[in-house]
Amino acid sequence: MQTEEGKSLVIDRLDKQFSVASDVVQALSEVSLVARPGEFISIVGASGCGKSTLLRIVAGLETATAGEVRLGERPIRNPGLERGMVFQEARLLPWMTVWDNIAFGCRAETPNAERRELVEQHLELVGLKGFEKAYPHQLSGGMQQRVSIARALMNRPEVLLLDEPFGALDAMTRITMQQEVLRIWETERTTMILVTHDIDEAIYLGDRVVVMSSRPGTIRRVVPVPLPRPRDRSAYEFVQIRKEIYAEFFEDVQRPFAYAI
């Protein structure tokens, strides 16, 4: 459980360049952001603006060319158990049951009794009680994503990174999963950083929506969402925020070469 003593996630003037053949792609430039403990931040932006690169650097899966990421005072340079990650595809081990896939997220040194207790808690948290013996191919896409969320939460990470986690799901399942993530966030109060292409999803979930621009990837605007939860997508204030974000988004998309090739 995250508390007031939780640590802020500090993204401090990140630059990231990739070399592609003889060219250099400036994927991120001077990206700075502070996520307060327990905050829910959504990130939107045109394809290729560096959202996944940013999340991968925070996860420690990619190194920055310049700048740094800190959790509290501690610089992040490698993957660590205090940061969990959920990807667009659930990435479950097909030969393992739901139970074993969730248990797989647990620290190796965790005693068996504690591991069992944790798996039970997390099955309950993601609403999969009764499915512990099922294999991934016996589950719907939404259920598979629940398993991957449970697995990512097993070590009580301080930060959960969600990279388009519902991108492969149909519209109805997506809405259900948004409600589920909201419930989990309200229970756990883990700091969450969500990358999404869905502006409604970003507003529905986020305390703030970060709008990124492309070429190079920078933060164009940070839009606060001061609406009580659960949010009504058809409420006047929600629609106004959506309009505001669309305006930023499309101004960026309409720039020549804004999209990655």
Enumerate binding residues for ligand ATP (CB under 6 A). Answer: 18, 20, 25, 27, 45, 47-53, 260
Please identify, using beta-carbon distances, which residue of 154 and 211 lies nearer to ligand ATP: 211
CB of 149 to ligand ATP, least distance (A): 20
Beta bridge partners of residue 213, listed in sequence order? 218
Please identify, using beta-carbon distances, which residue of 43 and 139 lies nearer to ligand ATP: 43
Handedness of CA 54, 79, 42, 127 (dihedral sign): positive
CB of 255 to ligand ATP, least distance (A): 14
CB of 49 to ligand ATP, least distance (A): 4
CB of 117 to ligand ATP, least distance (A): 37
Please identify, using beta-carbon distances, which residue of 54 and 143 lies nearer to ligand ATP: 54
CB of 19 to ligand ATP, least distance (A): 7
Please identify, using beta-carbon distances, which residue of 50 and 84 lies nearer to ligand ATP: 50
Please identify, using beta-carbon distances, which residue of 37 and 206 lies nearer to ligand ATP: 206
